[in-house]
Structure 1
Amino acid sequence: MKPPFKRIVVVGGGAAGWMTATALATALKGGTVELVESEEIGIVGVGEATFPSIRNFHRLLGIDEAEFLRATNGTYKLGIQFCDWRARGESYFHTFGDFGALSGSHAVWGQHHRLGEAGLGALGEQCLPSVMASQGRFALPGENDRYDYAYHFDAALYAAFLRELGERRGVRRTEGRIVDVARRADGGVDRLTLADGRVVAGDLYIDCSGFASLLLGRTLGEPFVDFSHWLPVDRAWACPTERIGTELTPYTRATALEAGWAWRIPLQNRTGNGHVFASRHIDEDRVRAQLLQQLDGPALAEPRLLRFQTGHRKRAWVHNVVALGLSGGFLEPLESTSIFLVQWGLGRLIDLLLSGAPFTEQVVADYNGEMGRRFARVRDFIILHYCLSARRDSALWRAMATMELPETLAFKLHAWRQAGALHQYDLEGFDATSWLAIHTGMGHWPERADPSLGDVERAVALRGLQWRRECIATAVAAMPKHEAYLRGMLGGRER
């Protein structure tokens, strides 16, 4: 690592802070990484579901999967089951899987919709991990399997796990509450003063201070780009419950409700539950009652209320401060993307640090532009879930059905409706298969079919889809239940 960044200071712990500090200490040589956190403040510690990219992060850090799962009470995640989103009583899976060809005469989804054969079952039966999830089974993908997976885990234990690893790799942890931030003449941050009078100084500061955004927001005054017009949820009640013998499902569940949605996240030792809602459409106490009514086990603590605003700071990098995690922005947790956004921003920063190139104004502007587009791409994908709903039974769902969409999303919807085209921009958070899963799961099909689908005879197309469905069913039937697989792997027995 070359000057001027010999001393890097990470402000804030939690998952974002310790991901950042540990990755920097692993990747960089020749400097110091110091993390400042206060046990008085604590961490949000609610985000317990992840996106498959976390596995790349773990590989870069050399983290053993079994060790990580033991330390965090982790489980496997194949995707998300969406209940009652299109209409009450209906559900579908968004898994990290493969629907076969997405375009042309052999597009699996296109032929499935064209044939309309009840005997073929739902389109989800053409996707291996969707069938695995529906049956509660799990196995690691083989060499030729085209699906991915992520994890559920206890966020507080994950931060502790990374802290231990980071400190072994040279991260210096400083316990203390920051009471003053001194500025440099050029506007950047010069030093931090702690409550006991100690001073911490660095060349580059990474703001992982959560919603407080101590450096980027509070000190540097970077404006906030508000997404609440499109994503109006702004509160969440969270409550863990005991496991009472219920099946350890390899997926997150998101259930649409009157003014938002509820999550259910299975861990080895407990279940994470929460209700995300729009306070403009419902009273907080009513939501708390709704959450408690649907718990499937005794509560381990009183429900905790979290308040947030969807959006992001206009620039993530200002002067010598880079914000990662909640300090830089937040998108509601519907698709478990918070850690993904931390990981992406951190990865880009490390690449720049390792390049040794000077951090010119253009380099910083490019980073900020890319980070902004990442947030916008994920924002559009989350909005998709709401705007495709056929529900009109409450104020929230009626408002989401009539709101004006971001132009980027409106164009994507037009391309799909007109021609079944799954248009992709740069820096997408979700690939075309994920967009397909939401469109088709919500019963949102193109108005016109690709004429080339007719090039395949109906009988031939039917045999092909039946064969694919049967192969998937056979493969899944041979897989163990998720809990049995996890127990065998953590117990050290052969899989």
Structure 2
Amino acid sequence: MAQKYERIVVVGGGSAGWMTATALATEFKGRIGIELVESEDIGIIGVGEATFPSIREYNRLVGIDEAEFLRATNGTYKLGIRFHDWLELGRDYFHTFGHFGNLFGSQTLWAQHRRMGLAEPLGQQCVPTVMAMQGRFVLPSEQAQFKYAYHFDAVQYAAFLRQLAIQRGVRHTQGRIVEVARRADGGVAALQLDDGRRVEGDLFIDCSGFRSLLLGDALQEPFVDFSHWLPVDGAWACPCERSGEEIKPYTEATALEGGWAWRIPLQNRTGHGHVFSSRFIDVDRAREQLLARLDGKPLAEPRLLRFTTGHRQRFWVHNVVSIGLSSGFLEPLESTSIYLIQDGIARLMAALTTGRPLDENDLALFNDGAARRFARIRDFIILHYCLTRRRDSELWRHVATMELPETLAFRLALWRGYGVLHEYDEEGFDATSWLAIHAGMDHWPERQDPVIAEIPAERALQALKGRSKAIAASVERMPLHRSTLRQVLGQ
């Protein structure tokens, strides 16, 4: 049955809830009633401090000024992720938000680089990679075009958005949800709060985190488990005092015995965490490894989070839409948690702004697209693991030999055989990102397009060296990240 929605209830605060409420309030400007119910039982995870470049588009659409945002969240700039020890111990590489020149022409830059057998990393041909390695940052311009993201405090971001959403007409209701009343068709009719209040709505957005209060608990939507390919199931998180004057403009991910550790620099502190698999390392040992890596005085006791990688089979069931952790979780290796929130919001807004009542076909399209997005990002994250040469612990032996999803196995076959960076629909990462991981993991095609050799070797070598020298000289004149940040903040 086709439906229109005039009363929308968002369940749960945090980044997912307040991002959703702010987007709805900005779009509908009071034409639809929007209420956010924030329960004490639904805690805020609040450790997802590294983001994907798409966050800038969300901030722009809801009218957030960059400097104001950075001040409110202790934010810093992010040019990508530096991976330590993933290929083998002592080796690192950088996943950039930039590009490596012409990726698809007959004179493909990366293929010429590989053909010349240059000892320098492919990243030397990429402006933001060189910027990151030198700790420098400038905003993009016609001379230097690239994407960038942020590091920020997710709890402060939610508080910032809460104020904005309430100013734009969102009703904020605080109370513990004790019962979810159902409709005859299986949907949700209302939320019963512990103080007797009843919150009714036409559409309910489940932003209740891992608990998945509506979609998981009330509607019992099945979970699609990815843990066969992504076995990490826990994370220790601990903030510490920031050390040193400079702030690295990138996230760091270091492969460890039973998982990997993150390092995320903010203005006022550094976020540290250890994502691990309890199948391959004891929880207490994982905690010890995290504490041993802190580069400053801890500001709190380490906090343990438990999770299963995967997603709900459907994301929109009856009149319940799940956004954020309530819909699923992919480990934070590529900083996609907030991106997936944004993706869910974009799909929701596209559905709600069609100007007509929605039917089962609309819900099916929503669910199919969201599921494919999870699968595409899942494959990209698996790529980091399956190409490893490490065999020094049980985890790395497992991921190096496990059976891969068919979609990823096909992509790898095309790359190995022909150097083709195949793309599906609903991609979360473009060809440049896939190339950055292949290059960083020293994983190259077995064959080379003969047309690459039509360019004389001497000319190709001269062009590559000239480009890397020009990039290095340009970056050397740029200010350090901290200087640019101070200027933007007006300090």
TM-score range normalised by the length of the shorter chain: over 0.9
* Structure 1 residues 87-486: aligned runs within 5 Å: 87-118=88-119, 121-245=120-244, 247-486=246-485
Find the aligned partners of 2:26 and 2:76 in 1 and give their Cα distance: 26
Deviation at 1:134, TM superposition (A): 0.4
Question: Mind listing any 5+ residue stretches in structure 2 that lack a counterpart?
Answer: none
Find the aligned partners of 1:189 and 1:92 in 2 and give their Cα distance: 48
Find the aligned partners of 2:143 and 2:59 in 1 and give their Cα distance: 22
Q: Deviations along 1:128-182, whole A, 9 cap, x unmatched? A: 1000000000000103533100000001000000001111111110001100000
Deviation at 1:463, TM superposition (A): 1.2
Deviation at 1:468, TM superposition (A): 1.0
Contact 2:206 2:323 in 1 (8 A): yes
Structure 2 residue aligned with 1:86: 87
Contact 2:3 2:358 in 1 (8 A): no
Q: Deviations along 1:173-219, whole A, 9 cap, x unmatched? A: 00011000000000000000011111101000000000000000000
Deviation at 1:40, TM superposition (A): 5.3
Contact 1:105 1:454 in 2 (8 A): no
Q: Which is worse superposed, 66-75 or 143-152? A: 143-152
Instruction: Please tell me the residue identity of whatever aligns with 2:139.
Output: L
SS at 1:355 equivalent: coil
Structure 2 residue aligned with 1:58: 59
Find the aligned partners of 1:77 and 1:311 in 2 and give their Cα distance: 26
Contact 1:72 1:157 in 2 (8 A): yes
Structure 2 residue aligned with 1:14: 14
Find the aligned partners of 2:3 and 2:161 in 1 and give their Cα distance: 27
Question: Mind listing any 5+ residue stretches in structure 1 that lack a counterpart?
Answer: none
* Structure 1 residues 29-40: aligned runs within 5 Å: 29=29, 30-39=31-40
SS at 1:443 equivalent: coil
SS at 1:344 equivalent: helix
Instruction: Please tell me the residue identity of whatever aligns with 1:301.
Output: A
Instruction: Please tell me the residue identity of whatever aligns with 2:59.
Output: H
Structure 1 residue aligned with 2:26: 26
Find the aligned partners of 1:145 and 1:414 in 2 and give their Cα distance: 34
Runs of 4+ in 1 over 4 A off after TM superposition: none
Q: Deviations along 1:240-297, whole A, 9 cap, x unmatched? A: 0001225300000000000100000000000000000000111000010000011100
Deviation at 1:334, TM superposition (A): 0.2
Contact 1:28 1:354 in 2 (8 A): no
Find the aligned partners of 1:215 and 1:114 in 2 and give their Cα distance: 55
SS at 2:238 equivalent: strand
Q: Percent identity?
A: 68
Alignment TM-score, normalising by the size of structure 1: 0.97
Instruction: Please tell me the residue identity of whatever aligns with 1:460.
Output: R
Q: Deviations along 1:437-476, whole A, 9 cap, x unmatched? A: 0000000010111111101001110111112111211111
SS at 1:50 equivalent: coil
RMSD: 1.1
Deviation at 1:479, TM superposition (A): 0.7
Contact 1:255 1:263 in 2 (8 A): yes
Find the aligned partners of 2:44 and 2:245 in 1 and give their Cα distance: 29
Instruction: Please tell me the residue identity of whatever aligns with 2:56.
Output: R
Deviation at 1:407, TM superposition (A): 0.3
Find the aligned partners of 1:364 and 1:124 in 2 and give their Cα distance: 42
Find the aligned partners of 1:326 and 1:209 in 2 and give their Cα distance: 7
Deviation at 1:104, TM superposition (A): 3.8
Change (3 A) 1:40 1:327: closer
Instruction: Please tell me the residue identity of whatever aligns with 1:200.
Output: V
SS at 1:465 equivalent: helix
Aligned length: 489
Instruction: Please tell me the residue identity of whatever aligns with 2:14.
Output: G
Find the aligned partners of 1:383 and 1:391 in 2 and give their Cα distance: 15
Find the aligned partners of 1:338 and 1:117 in 2 and give their Cα distance: 36
Contact 2:418 2:447 in 1 (8 A): yes
Find the aligned partners of 1:38 and 1:123 in 2 and give their Cα distance: 49
Find the aligned partners of 2:118 and 2:262 in 1 and give their Cα distance: 33
SS at 1:247 equivalent: coil
Q: Which is worse superposed, 167-176 or 463-472? A: 463-472
Alignment TM-score, normalising by the size of structure 2: 0.98
Instruction: Please tell me the residue identity of whatever aligns with 2:473.
Output: T
